[in-house]
Amino acid sequence: MTEKKLPLPAEELKAFAERVGTPFHIYDGRAIRRNAEIMMDAFSWSEGFINYFAVKALPNVNILRLLAAEGFGADCSSLPELRLAQEAGITGERIMFSSNDTPDEEFAEAYRLGAVINLDDATHIDSVMRACGRMPRVISFRYNPGPERTGNAIIGNPVEAKYGVRHDQIADCFRRARECGAERFMLHTMVASNELEEDYIVETARMLFSLVDEIHGKTGIRIERVDLGGGIGIPYRPDDAAISFSHLSERIHALYTEMIEQKGYAPLKLSFECGRCITGPYGWLVSGVRHVAHKYKDYAGLDASMADLMRPAMYGAYHHITVLGKEDLPHDRTYDVTGSLCENNDKFAVDRPLPVLERGDILAIHDTGAHGHAMGFNYNAKLRHAEYLIEDSGIYRIRRNETYEDYIRTQLDRPEKVI
Ligand SMILES: Cc1ncc(COP(=O)(O)O)c(C=O)c1O
C-alpha cells in the first residue's frame, strides 16, 4: 500500500490554487531532492554511479538544476534537450545522448559537448562518423535482447521494438567502433517502462553483466560502464508498492560481485537513466471542476484536459485523484472525470468513486511529476499551463502559462512564397 500524499496540507494547496488560478502542475522540490539523495546513497558502493535523469520526463531547467546539484546527469534524446542540460550546468560525459533516428546535426552537437553518444543501430556508426568527422573516443551501444526478454506492458515486446542492436550484432558493433577509433566503451539497454517488479530490473543487470563477459570474450573489449536504462515504476495505485532503491541496489551489488568482480571485470561503472521514479510521485496536476453534468453517466468536467496530462487517455493509466477539502467524505458517487478537449477519450478517470462534486471543487491529480506536463500538446489550440516548485523558502513559478501570442508565434500572418 502506498499512501497518496499531497505536497501541502489540502487547505493550503486549495488556497494556493485559488490565488494563482487552475490548472497547473506543482512539484515538491524538497521531496525530489530527498529521493535523489536516497538513490545516490543506495548505489554509493558503485564508484562512478550516476543517474542520467531522463530529461523527457520533466524538461524544466529548474528541476534539472536541482537534480544536477544532487550529482545527477542528463539523458537527452534531442537537440533542445541537450541545450536544456547545458543550461542546467550538466556537461560532458554527465550527458548521455541516446539516439532515436537521430539527425547528423544532433550527433555533431552531442560530440561537440563531449556527451556520451549511445548508438541505436550498427548503421549509426557511419552516421556518427559522418556527423562528427571521426568516431568519438567514447561510444555506447543500445542493446535489444529480442526474445531473450519479455519486455513489459508499456514498453512492449523487445522483438517488436524499433530500438537497439540485436544480440548477434552487438559484439561486431563494438569491434567496428574500435576499428574506427573508439577507445572507451559503454553498454546500454532499456527494456522496461513503469516496472514495479524488482526481479525484472535485477534480471536486466544480470543480462548486461553477462554481455560484458561475452563481448570481452569475442572482442577483447572491456566495457567501462553499463547503463540499465530507465523504467523503474512508481505506485500510481494506492495498492501498488514502490521499488526500494536500497533493496534493488543490494541485489545488483550481489550480482556485481559474482559476475563482474570475481571474473576480473571490475571496476565497471553503473548507471540508470530513470525519470519517472525520481520526479513522478512528487508532481500533481491541480485542476478545478467547471461543470458537473448528468448524462447517461455522471461527468465532472475539469479546466484541465489531456493536453495537460495525456497518460490516462493514451494508456488508460490510473492517476489517483484527491478532492481538496473532501478527503474524508464518503466516496459514494461515481464520475467520469473529463477534460475540456473535443475528444471523447479526454478523461482523467472513468467510473471513479469520489465524494459528491460541485462546480468550484479543486482536484489534485497525483503522480504527474514525470511524463505529465512534458507530454502536453496544443491540439484544440489549448494553451499549455504553468508549473510551480515548492521549496522550503516558498513556492516558485518555474513556467508561466502559455499565451495566445506564444501559440501563434510560428504562424505566418503573411504567407511567404516558397516556390
Ligand atoms: C531511452 C530512455 N531512457 C530513459 C527513459 C526514462 O524512463 P522512465 O521515466 O520511465 O524512467 C526513457 C523513457 O521513455 C527512454 O526512452
pLDDT in tens, 68-126: 999 999 999 999 999 999 999 999 999 999 978 899 999 999 999 999 999 999 999 99
CATH architecture classification, 43-274: Alpha-Beta Barrel (3.20)
Q: Which mutation among 162, 193, 274 tests ligand 1's pocket best, with the greatest number of atoms within 8 A of CB?
A: 193
Query: From ligand 1's centre to the CA of 271, what distance in Å?
Result: 13
Return the ligand 1 atom nearest residue 276 CA.
9
What value does the mean pLDDT of the chain take? Answer: 96
CA 219 to chain centre: 34
Write out the residue limits of the CATH 3.20.20.10 domain(s) in the chain.
43-274
pLDDT in tens, 192-224: 899 999 999 999 999 999 999 999 999 999 999
Query: From ligand 1's centre to the CA of 275, what distance in Å?
Result: 6
Query: From ligand 1's centre to the CA of 193, what distance in Å?
Result: 7
Rounded average pLDDT over 298-306: 98
C-alpha cell at 166: 540485436
Return the ligand 1 atom nearest residue 275 CA.
9
Give the CA dihedral 4, 201, 309, 360, nearest 10 degrees.
0
Return the ligand 1 atom nearest residue 277 CA.
11
Query: From ligand 1's centre to the CA of 150, what distance in Å?
Result: 17
pLDDT at 158: 82
Write out the residue limits of the CATH 2.40.37.10 domain(s) in the chain.
281-408
Query: From ligand 1's centre to the CA of 277, what distance in Å?
Result: 10
Angle in degrees, 0-180, between the axes of helices 29-42 and 61-69, rounded to the nearest 10: 40
Return the ligand 1 atom nearest residue 233 CA.
10
**pTM of whole model > 0.85?**
yes
Q: Which mutation among 273, 276, 368, 371 tests ligand 1's pocket best, with the greatest number of atoms within 8 A of CB?
A: 273
| Ligand 1 binding residues, C-beta < 6 A | 54, 56-57, 75, 98, 190, 193-194, 229-232, 273-276, 370
Is residue 151's pLDDT more than 70? no
- Which positions ≥6 away from 156 have C-beta within 8 Å? none
CATH of 281-408, one of 1.10.3720.10, 2.40.37.10, 3.30.70.20, 3.50.50.60: 2.40.37.10
Query: From ligand 1's centre to the CA of 136, what distance in Å?
Result: 24
Is residue 417's pLDDT more than 80? yes
Query: From ligand 1's centre to the CA of 274, what distance in Å?
Result: 6
Percent of the chain with pLDDT over 70: 99
Give the CA dihedral 186, 132, 164, 207, nearest 10 degrees.
0
